[in-house]
Chain A
Amino acid sequence: QVHLVESGGGVVQPGKSLRVSCSASGFTFRSNGMHWVRQAPGKGLEYVAFISFDGTNKQYAESVRGRFTVSRDNSWDTLYLQMNIVRPEDTAVYYCAKGDHGYGMDVWGQGTTVTVSS
């Protein structure tokens, strides 16, 4: 059974950095692209980033490009999102999701909450 567990969320001051993680199990992690999606309080879903199965292709939403970096460790079946120079508008639940080989994304984690506040 596919299982994704995010961690690392918390309260961070504006301008600071935070790294969130996503631990994967139940599938061959190194064979799948992975995604990050976020949801601000009371708002809709916002696509954040993608990383290909081998880490060579990365894509970002305009709102985070240049500040956030997606990476992965296929030895540890773990996905990361490094968030730098955070802003109050980055406050959200951050979800990781498994790519589905050209068919979008299928399974999501339960999310981790990031709050940017002084």
Chain B
Amino acid sequence: DIQMTQSPSSLSASVGDRVTITCRASQGIRNALGWFQQKPGKAPKRLIYSSSSLQSGVPSRFSGSGSGTDFTLTISSLQPEDFATYYCLQHNTYPWTFGQGTKVDIK
């Protein structure tokens, strides 16, 4: 199975900060990577697909980049509603696999 190593596992940030989360795949996955946001007690919500395509309705402060094995999710200016846990998902090879998650909380 492809292993997805996500970092950091948690971070503290302030409103307005620029936040970067990374995912590294154990083998190349082209651009078959998505990013999800999950708030407590809720289902995950897709933010980014195909590494860098913004899901309809998602604010433009979210962006994704990368190809092959290294990927990044960036929040350009953190807003109060962005405090949540973020996961990457590779969908290049079955079984698909998630990163371990990054919890973003208030500094």
Hey, what's the 0/1 contact readout for A99-113 against B, CB within 8 Å counting as 1? 010011111111100
Min Cβ gap B47→A in Å is 11
- In the complex the two chains form, is B95's CB within 8 Å of A104's CB? no
- In the complex the two chains form, is B43's CB within 8 Å of A95's CB? yes
Min Cβ gap B16→A in Å is 28
Hey, what's the 0/1 contact readout for B1-30 against A, CB within 8 Å counting as 1? 100000000000000000000000000000
Hey, what's the 0/1 contact readout for B87-101 against A, CB within 8 Å counting as 1? 101010011111111
Contact with B98, one of A45, A100, A107, A109 (Cβ below 8 angstroms): A45
Q: Does A47 count as interface, using CB distance less than 8 angstroms?
A: yes
Bound Cα distance A52, B16 (Å)? 42
Q: Does A50 count as interface, using CB distance less than 8 angstroms?
A: yes
Q: Does A44 count as interface, using CB distance less than 8 angstroms?
A: yes
User: In the complex, how many residue pairs between chain A and chain B have their CB atoms under 8 Å apart?
Assistant: 62
Residues of A within 8 A of B33 (CB): 104
Q: Does B74 count as interface, using CB distance less than 8 angstroms?
A: no
Residues of A within 8 A of B96 (CB): 35, 47, 50, 104
- In the complex the two chains form, is A44's CB within 8 Å of B91's CB? no
Bound Cα distance A104, B97 (Å)? 11
Residues of A within 8 A of B100 (CB): 44
Residues of B within 8 A of A11 (CB): none
Residues of A within 8 A of B (CB): 35, 37, 44-47, 50, 59-62, 95, 100, 103-111
Residues of B within 8 A of A (CB): 1, 32-34, 36, 38, 42-46, 49-50, 53, 55, 87, 89, 91, 94-101
5 shortest interchain CB distances as A-B pairs: A59-B94, A108-B43, A104-B91, A104-B34, A44-B101
